[in-house]
Structure 1
Amino acid sequence: MKKQLFSTLLFACSLTTLTAQTPVYLDDTQPIEARVKDALNRMTLEEKVALCHAQSKFSSPGVPRLGIPELWMSDGPHGVRAEINWNDWGYAKWTNDSITAFPALTCLAATWNPEMSAIYGKAIGEEARYREKDVLLGPGVNIYRTPLNGRNFEYMGEDPYLAGVMCVPYIREIQKNGVAVSVKHYALNNQELWRGHIDVQLSNRALHEIYLPAFKAAVQKGGAWTVMGAYNKVRGQHACHNDLLLNKILKNDWGFDGVVVTDWGGAHDTYEAAMNGLDIEMGSYTNGLTSESAFTFDDYYLAKPYLRMLKEGKVPMSTVDDKASRILRLIFRTAMNRQKPYGSLTSEEHYQAAREIGNEGIVLLKNTPVQKKGTPLLPLDGSKYQRILVVGDNAVRLLNEGGGSSELKVKDMVSPLDGMHTLYGDKVVYTKGYAAGRPMYGRAEEIPQSVMDSLRTAATELAKEADLVILFGGLNKNHFQDCEAGDRVTYGLPFGQNELIESLLGVNKNMVLVLLSGNAVEMPWLNKVPAVLQGWYLGSMGGNSLADVLSGAVNPSGKLPFSFPVKLTDCGAHAFDELSYPGDSIKQVYKEDILVGYRWHDTKKIPALFPFGYGLSYTTFAYGKPVASAKTITADNSLTVTIPVKNTGSVAGKEVVQLYVGDEKCSVLRPVKELKAFQKITLAPGEEKEVTFTITPDDLKFYDEAVGGWTAEPGKFKAYIGASSADIRGTVPFELK
């Protein structure tokens, strides 16, 4: 309301002062393109340039003289961030900016359910609208290349098709609220170490087949209104003003009509910013630590230096007209959109959405009997246990805190321990077991070994008397874990958790391990732990979601959106020298090329600990024989593959049926198979459904570097139907004529 009132007053003042000279009414009954042209014709050069850079930490100017309001932006791929001060990184300490924390986007990807993506986008869009934000900085669709990337929890996994399918409904539903998304970080921001300058080198095939398709889907299918540039360089040029990425691919090839925004501080050169497709520069000269009094917002690369270059004829006027037109289009779509709904905040509907997404995203990794002839440990039968020991810092930690820009200020937070108390009441006893330190950004608190030893000993003693142990461990949002601006330094669990797990198992075999993280971790103890859940960062209702799945109120149906390698060197990015990861601090070469994730594991025949697409259920599913509608496919037609799937267990459940396609023989290296479609189906006990997939000629293509485009070579192909990339239940051969 405050922002709308301010804009209204500016509009009224402009009418009062200028009516005698020139009418300034901007007729909002006209199509947006007519309004853009009209407004642009009324603007001075100085006003056009002013649109192109920030005026505060999270806003950019409008045109006050014409009653055109500013743009207000907010971090928040999984929640709208608390208000930040005008000119520094401190929190404004408002009392009305607490929100719903939704599950991190890695969890959303693990649902393998576009309906969940739409529910997510609608809810978070309503919260952003209520908070009067015009641009929400997300979703992130960078590819999971290495499990050491500190920011993987914000992204949607290792497969470009899965990420592309899952981001589109999220984008569409957010923007129905008159709030733009800013799809990030475009492109190749696949590590946080040296992110501000590392120069990524890769093949055109890897660029187009792996790292760009999700962004392309976001733009062409999702209709994204803004895209955020990445910090890193790509082939020698910073991504935020990169001619190849922004001009040639995004705006020319893909027809993007929106705005390119820098990541905060991502601009480095006025001429390149002017010429290479950047539209709004945010956050330059900021390090979050010192005063900015020496630099005003007019000192940005796209501010006074840009204005001088325009006046001196060093860059063409057409550049600023294009930038201003795009920004005006964005303002008319958002801040000046009278048709947008009111929005809502922390409603019961939003809490239910967060819980439902968490329920569908949790992945059951392992579920075996404690005794050889017993039943699997999960779901838990509360009547069997009189004393339940809950262990772990993550059982009580606010995992919305830390992580950098993804830090959230929540109105309500249900912890895992809260969820266990709701289920089992006084049966639950809690002990910490390990200490992870306070939430910090840019550094990690060191915990004395004596403290760790004491906590582990206390937990082990309590475990001796417990009927059941539930350990909530994993990572958190501190530096060197799942956190912006730094990568993990080890693949193993931190804070002595491996030693804690072994110690607890030494006195009590009835253990459930719940890993809360956005990344894969090493599991040297896996064969000893009977039940393991991958619980992600689940947000405000996380404790309820975990309780739902552990108790069996919800049958787990999440599937992994990335592979868990046994050891780090089993991952393609780490199979070469340091130039492949993390680089030599200046340059980095993606030596695994197109073989990312399961593509690497399949092609190199290196089994994953848990493969892409993997996830167990409390029921079982039987796949019948797949049948193709034809034996051949041509450039002008498609074929279908149908397979029956039956719930052969005793409880209702959901299964993700996955279609992969492999080229049997090709003149270039191709993966064994690649994901091309999936469906999530719900089946009652004994129920059977037929799942049908359509394979088109486009599904068979690779990026041909020789011609600079997509092609498919005639020959033999194979369709694989599976419950994961490694659990193939049926194959169908066919031929491309």
Structure 2
Amino acid sequence: MFKKSIAVIALALTSIGLQAQTKTPAYLDDAKPMKERVEDALKRMTTEEKIALIHAQSKFSSPGVPRLGIPEIWTTDGPHGIRTEVKWDEWDQAGWTNDSCIAFPALTALASTWNKEMSALYGKSIGEEARFRNKNILLGPGVNIYRSPLNGRNFEYMGEDPFLAGQMVVPYIKGVQANGVAACVKHFALNNQEGRRNDVNVVVDDRALYEIYLPAFKAAVQQGGAWAIMGSYNQYKGQQCCHNEFLLNDILKGEWGFDGVVVSDWGGVHNGMQAIKNGLDLEFGTWTDGLSAGRKNAYDNYYLAQPYLDKIKSGEVGTTELDDKVRRVLRLCLLTTMNKNRPYGSFGTEEHALAGRKIAEEGIVLLQNNNSLLPLNLTKIKKIAVIGENAIKAMTVGGGSSSLKAKYEVSPLDGIKKRVGNKAQVVYARGYVGDAKSDYNGVAFGADLTEKRTAEQLLAEAIKVAKDADVVIFVGGLNKSDYQDCEGYDRKELGLPYNQDKVVTELAKANKNIVFVNISGNAVAMPWVKQVPAIVQGWYLGTEAGNALASVLMGDVNPSGKLAFTFPAKLNDNGAHALGEFPGGDEVKYNEGLFVGYRWTEKQNITPLFPFGHGLSYTTFEYGKVTADKTSMAASDKITFSVKVKNTGKREGQEVVQLYIADFKSSLPRPVKELKGFEKVSLKAGEEKTVTFTINKTDLSFFDDKKHEWVAEPGDFEAVIGASSLNIKGKVQFVLK
């Protein structure tokens, strides 16, 4: 009996052991709480596995934990499309034949839609593309503030206003992450120039930091729930921003409670101990020759790799910081590649192309339309002259890390020809030579722009073509070449490159019916503005660029975009150039403080070329009286403003109603007014709708740098409703008790 009992017990123990072996670990059980899963995975990892998890193994990947079935982490450049595959440890193309993406409009175009639904559509679509390619982290979107029109990377960002950028970035993030792909919002923080970007130390006061340069990131974290943030290249307070104690530990993870992953920009890590202590979680790009730097795998030389492990083994540092980094990366893995319920995504689809076209159409801004030259009436036009290199130049390649291998790109010329069909003759002349290159980083795309004719011959041809046409569409502006709209380089001047001003001036003499289409992500000077009746801001519009542009020019789509940044008439009308420094030397001083963009022009009473929030329509809108539901509000209260908007024209259109708040008296200097609300409303001809905005104490607050807190002082305020920052439609005063 005793032996039999022993046998039964042994059998039971064996059975229990087998059950224990087959029981799903907590970290793989998606029914378990996230914190429990993360802690379970963490306790199973060796120190060596933890170290491996927090640094790259190739240009765009880190190794995961193979022993535990935690897959590799794969990142991809955005924010306008999914980057082509490159070789394991080189920037050269991998030679795939199925990685041609849909190119979406640049983020300046998205911001200029002033439409949160378009941002959600953008995020959803690009998230699906990233998911299909099995990427964990999309390196975007960017929300650095438009401080100077010379910043070469402005086209990747969302304009000059922190409220607009914050409102537009949140739906993008949610759309991306709904696909099980982490949005990595960049570049945190103060990366407002490309010149000296790797070492310049930014000197900025705390008010400007908190009121201008941080709010969009804060919205991304607290409202958007971003799973990742990318540090910037520059320094702040003498520390690199990829391992900056004040920015990462004190503000991002401390004040804002960010629980995601801080990713380094590629090559942005410079100090091992700071990388350990100051909030960096995942290191990429420190070495660019990972397989040939004197070790079997030079990625082991990263600051958060073998050197970190050596410090732990020697007792120089503990593992508290390491475990925090690993927890964050594990959480990201569980939310992305280990999420069994994430959708499969889709790639290069017609649906995505049409989404990009819709965003592009809503982002195009009609800046000027004297004599109602636009939309073009094809029943009265026999010949259209399209002039300018940008009418045929591919814009999805070049510009730095956002360069794409697009599935296709419709040029403005092709878009116009397709839309016009046989209703009118379309003739083309180049007019000028800018950059004949049509390749970047191994991607060759677009027309052959080799040109043997002289500038004089090209201009003469353009003038001849213009004289013989009913209307001229000049497609010019900037491009993605060095020292234009391009990562790593700043522009050298506000004016148009390649002597375009002369070309436009001569064409305007030859034909009074001229439309200037500015393809750029930046403001440009327009000394000929009074000679050109119609001006359109065309941005970089992606795969469907030409079709979107043609639909607006011909009136199929009523333009509804509004500028996300101010167009100054001259460079010194910008605060960074009038009072501050750009690009500075070893350091750059933001002497203009929080007076950026329209805040500066209004403070100085400067009339810009085109103001922030400006954009015309093919219909007209009438605003009623602005009313408030109360005349005063307590600190814990809210107040709602209302205004009726009516379409008084003959066709359907969309209007962006903008709310600005003015503080009449403050203990610290404040802008004349600041954007605190906007709503894009669609109205049929004759239709009227009521637009409402509700604000609270937070919307009236400013940052007191002495107290290091947000303050709303009692006193008199004014709600200002406008169709732009200068086109004011109504005001109503109220009191904060």
| TM-score, length basis structure 1 | 0.94
Runs in 1 of length 4+ with deviation above 4 angstroms?
Answer: 18-25, 290-295, 439-442, 446-450
Q: How far apart are the structure 1 equivalents of 2:236 and 2:289?
A: 23
Q: Please name the residue that 1:613 is paired with.
A: 613
Alpha-carbon deviation of 1:193? 0.3
Q: Please name the residue that 2:30 is paired with.
A: 28
Alpha-carbon deviation of 1:691? 0.9
Q: Please name the residue that 2:588 is paired with.
A: 588
Deviations 1:49-99 (A, max 9, x none): 111110000001101111111100000101001001100111111000011
Contact 2:27 2:36 in 1 (8 A): no
Q: How far apart are the structure 2 equivalents of 1:21 and 1:181?
A: 33
Q: Please name the residue that 1:13 is paired with.
A: none
Please state whether the residue corresponding to 1:227 is helix, strand or coil.
strand
Deviations 1:473-505 (A, max 9, x none): 111111100000000011100011111101211
Please state whether the residue corresponding to 1:471 is helix, strand or coil.
strand
Q: Please name the residue that 1:316 is paired with.
A: 318
Alignment of 1:82-481 (within 5 A): 82-286=84-288, 292=293, 296-369=298-371, 376-425=372-421, 427-437=425-435, 438-439=437-438, 451-481=454-484
Deviations 1:405-455 (A, max 9, x none): 00011112111111111122351111111112215779xxx9999732221
Alpha-carbon deviation of 1:732? 0.6
Amino acid at match of 1:452: A
Amino acid at match of 1:384: K
Please state whether the residue corresponding to 2:536 is helix, strand or coil.
strand
CA 22–225 in structure 1, closer or farther in 2 if over 3 Å, else same: closer
Kindly name which structure, 1 or 2, has the bigger radius of gyration based on alpha carbons: 2
Deviations 1:543-600 (A, max 9, x none): 11111100111100000000000100000000026xx21112x111100000000011
Deviations 1:266-314 (A, max 9, x none): 00011000000000110012289x9656671000111111111112222
Please state whether the residue corresponding to 2:454 is helix, strand or coil.
helix
Q: How far apart are the structure 2 equivalents of 1:450 and 1:85?
A: 39
Deviations 1:239-287 (A, max 9, x none): 0000000001111111111100000000001100000000011001228
Please state whether the residue corresponding to 2:543 is helix, strand or coil.
helix
Amino acid at match of 2:352: H
Q: Please name the residue that 2:660 is paired with.
A: 660
Contact 1:143 1:160 in 2 (8 A): yes
Contact 1:80 1:127 in 2 (8 A): yes
The reply on whether 1:645 has 2:641 as its aligned counterpart is: no
How high is the sequence identity, in percent, across the aligned residues?
58
Deviations 1:92-112 (A, max 9, x none): 110000110000011000000
Amino acid at match of 2:550: A
Q: Please name the residue that 1:688 is paired with.
A: 688
Please state whether the residue corresponding to 1:528 is helix, strand or coil.
coil
Q: How far apart are the structure 1 equivalents of 2:376 and 2:492?
A: 35
Amino acid at match of 1:387: K
Deviations 1:320-349 (A, max 9, x none): 000011101101111111110010112221
Deviations 1:195-218 (A, max 9, x none): 000000101100000000000000
Q: How far apart are the structure 1 equivalents of 2:23 and 2:309?
A: 26
Deviations 1:660-713 (A, max 9, x none): 001101111100000000110011111111111112111110001111110011
Q: How far apart are the structure 2 equivalents of 1:192 and 1:64?
A: 38
Q: How far apart are the structure 2 equivalents of 1:523 and 1:688?
A: 36
Q: How far apart are the structure 2 equivalents of 1:23 and 1:204?
A: 47
The gaps in structure 2 that reach 5 residues or longer are: 1-17, 442-448
CA 293–608 in structure 1, closer or farther in 2 if over 3 Å, else same: farther
Contact 1:436 1:447 in 2 (8 A): no
Contact 2:27 2:37 in 1 (8 A): no
The gaps in structure 1 that reach 5 residues or longer are: 1-15, 370-375
Alpha-carbon deviation of 1:606? 1.0
Contact 1:225 1:257 in 2 (8 A): yes
Alignment of 1:492-531 (within 5 A): 492-531=495-534
Please state whether the residue corresponding to 1:406 is helix, strand or coil.
coil
Amino acid at match of 1:494: P
Q: Please name the residue that 2:44 is paired with.
A: 42
Contact 1:286 1:292 in 2 (8 A): no
Contact 1:366 1:532 in 2 (8 A): yes
Q: How far apart are the structure 1 equivalents of 2:102 and 2:641?
A: 41
Deviations 1:210-239 (A, max 9, x none): 000000000110000000000000110000
Which shows bigger deviation, 527-536 or 24-33? 24-33
Amino acid at match of 2:529: L
Please state whether the residue corresponding to 1:557 is helix, strand or coil.
coil
Contact 1:441 1:478 in 2 (8 A): no
Alpha-carbon deviation of 1:24? 9.7
Supply the RMSD in Å over aligned alpha carbons.
2.1
Q: Please name the residue that 1:712 is paired with.
A: 712
Q: How far apart are the structure 1 equivalents of 2:26 and 2:61?
A: 24
Contact 2:373 2:533 in 1 (8 A): yes
Please state whether the residue corresponding to 1:282 is helix, strand or coil.
coil
